[in-house]
A and B are shown apart, each in its own frame.
Chain A
């Protein structure tokens, strides 16, 4: 589904942040990417979603056999890629329900599928809210505006559940969440698990992985994946920290 080969990425005024990433994600798999601060985790998520602040100096990314890096952010979403932002953006004056409906209908329109009308969409989104234990009042608020940290993250997961992507990247969706919110978010993710749907879960801590159990764990440090393993690797990291891996490599 996703194949990253030798990806090198820099940002203006800084040396290369990603220095040759290789990663393959197959349908149905959950990959966790862990690593210390500044290792390039968020850069990887942003580049995959199409943020244009970066320069890609080498490498390719194939998503369902198309060249992901040549697509606009909206084309990537239409193809089924979704990024849950580490810092969800506030949109004062944009109604959350309207936003969700516009997003889903834009994607459906681009795919040649029938658009939802207001009533059907309302029913559809209410069911998703229930799964996330979110209040319906969320729909009438401005997108993320004045939301608490936890509410913003839940709202990201709500968007994911509405858009039903093929590949969802969760960029530190667990940071700033209390245990209840963490469980609700994990429940949302797990409800979307499907043999044809994949996840990349970017996180600092092993805790989230108790609830969203990964098939693979990768350690990203200094712009490279320095170790990959099964879910037990996350436990090892929790116990020993990142130091032993980073030192070993250097």
Chain B
């Protein structure tokens, strides 16, 4: 499938774990470099962030993105991770992203690969949101069928910061994303959305933990999955409200569609609360396509396959709609292609 021109011409590319800058058309004011250079330019920041997550693997390849205080950028920063000749031990990336005070940025990270050789994309991404910063963070994992994608994403939010993340997973043979979000300053807000769209024997696993450690923070997890054929989609979501997390508001919702009797959905929202005075909710649903809705569409002359496709699009609609139009234009065709495979259509 052809890549959207925004990604092929404007994105920063990371190929087999190595950063390529030349073609990138970056929004002004951002500092982006590889992690090794960042050790020289911002040693204190880098060391401090790295100390928070220790990993025995060689995690010195990666990106350092520094967003200065007060920087507000309308256009998104696009990062394209691609595997075409991956090392046998897998591609290992460690990213550090720092959002300065009152900054407002959108980042899209897109993952893809090519070829039949099995490979793995392993990444650790650490994000630090300073006071009053806003980060809109979109992921799309669309790796080759042979790939394993393993991601560890750690987010620390200071007071009044706002983190919106929307993660789509359409590719890879198996993927595991572990999100740990800590709300450390008061009135920090986090909206974490995920969408697995899997078929064949794909496995997708989202594991999300949100720690409410400060007063009056807000979090909302909205995870969805569509599983067809023999695929398996799992979501484990947890909210931990510490004794310091007074006046917490936390929501979790997991909605899932099973398209085949061999597919599997596992969903497990959890709450762990160590204080009073909180507002928390969780819910989960697993179902098939609604036969009344299908009949309604068919009775209007719409063929079964197309009717299913319309309902699948409707299911992903609110997640897709939550990202900006330019990013939608990148992601939508890929998701549409995947959905048409699942509704019995023939496009590839």
Which residues of A approach B to under 8 Å, CB–CB? 49-52, 72-74, 76-78, 82-83, 85, 88-89, 91-94, 99, 102-104, 106-107, 110, 142, 159, 163
Chosen A-B contacts, 24 in total, with CB atoms closer than 8 Å, are A50-B295, A50-B298, A50-B299, A73-B298, A74-B298, A74-B300, A74-B303, A74-B307, A77-B298, A77-B301, A83-B299, A91-B296, A93-B317, A94-B311, A94-B314, A99-B297, A99-B310, A102-B306, A103-B300, A106-B300, A106-B301, A106-B302, A106-B303, A163-B300
A107 to B297, CA, bound (A): 12
The residue in chain B whose Cβ has the minimal distance to the Cβ of A165 is B301
The residue in chain A whose Cβ has the minimal distance to the Cβ of B298 is A73
A103 to B292, CA, bound (A): 16
Q: Judge whether A49 and B299 touch: CB under 8 Å.
A: yes
Q: Judge whether B301 and A85 touch: CB under 8 Å.
A: no
Residue from B293, B296, B310 with most neighbouring chain A CB atoms (10 Å): B296
Contact mask for chain B residues 297-327; partner A; CB cutoff 8 A; 1 contact, 0 none: 1111111101100110111011000000000
Query: Contacts A91-B293, A106-B306 known; A77 to B299 CB distance under 8 Å?
Result: yes
Residues of B within 8 A of A51 (CB): 295
A148 to B323, CA, bound (A): 30
A91 to B317, CA, bound (A): 12
Total interface residues on B, using CB and 8 Å? 21
Q: Judge whether B304 and A94 touch: CB under 8 Å.
A: no
The residue in chain B whose Cβ has the minimal distance to the Cβ of A90 is B293
Contact mask for chain B residues 198-225; partner A; CB cutoff 8 A; 1 contact, 0 none: 0000000000000000000000000000
Query: Contacts A74-B303, A74-B304, A110-B301 known; A93 to B318 CB distance under 8 Å?
Result: yes
Contact mask for chain B residues 177-214; partner A; CB cutoff 8 A; 1 contact, 0 none: 00000000000000000000000000000000000000
Q: How far is the CB of A143 from chain B (nearest CB, A)?
A: 8
Residues of B within 8 A of A106 (CB): 300-303, 306
Residue from A99, A142, A159 with most neighbouring chain B CB atoms (10 Å): A99
Given A103-B301, A106-B300, 19 further pairs, Cβ under 8 A: A50-B299, A51-B295, A52-B295, A74-B300, A74-B303, A74-B307, A76-B299, A77-B299, A82-B299, A85-B296, A88-B296, A89-B292, A89-B295, A91-B310, A92-B314, A93-B315, A99-B300, A102-B302, A103-B297
The residue in chain B whose Cβ has the minimal distance to the Cβ of A73 is B298
The residue in chain B whose Cβ has the minimal distance to the Cβ of A50 is B299
The residue in chain A whose Cβ has the minimal distance to the Cβ of B321 is A93
Q: Judge whether B314 and A93 touch: CB under 8 Å.
A: yes
Contact mask for chain B residues 13-47; partner A; CB cutoff 8 A; 1 contact, 0 none: 00000000000000000000000000000000000
Residue from B299, B304, B314, B318 with most neighbouring chain A CB atoms (10 Å): B299
Among A52, A72, A89, A94, the residue within 8 A (CB) of B310 is: A94
Residues of A within 8 A of B304 (CB): 72, 74
Q: Judge whether A89 and B301 touch: CB under 8 Å.
A: no
Q: Judge whether A77 and B296 touch: CB under 8 Å.
A: no
A83 to B299, CA, bound (A): 7
Q: How far is the CB of A70 from chain B (nearest CB, A)?
A: 15
A77 to B301, CA, bound (A): 5
Residues of B within 8 A of A110 (CB): 301
Q: How far is the CB of B284 from chain A (nearest CB, A)?
A: 18
Q: How far is the CB of B296 from chain A (nearest CB, A)?
A: 4
Residues of A within 8 A of B303 (CB): 74, 106
Q: How far is the CB of A154 from chain B (nearest CB, A)?
A: 16
Residues of B within 8 A of A72 (CB): 298, 304
Residues of A within 8 A of B301 (CB): 74, 77-78, 103-104, 106-107, 110, 163
Q: How far is the CB of B9 from chain A (nearest CB, A)?
A: 28
The residue in chain B whose Cβ has the minimal distance to the Cβ of A103 is B300
The residue in chain B whose Cβ has the minimal distance to the Cβ of A87 is B292
The residue in chain B whose Cβ has the minimal distance to the Cβ of A111 is B301
Residues of A within 8 A of B315 (CB): 93
A104 to B302, CA, bound (A): 9
Residue from A72, A74, A163 with most neighbouring chain B CB atoms (10 Å): A74
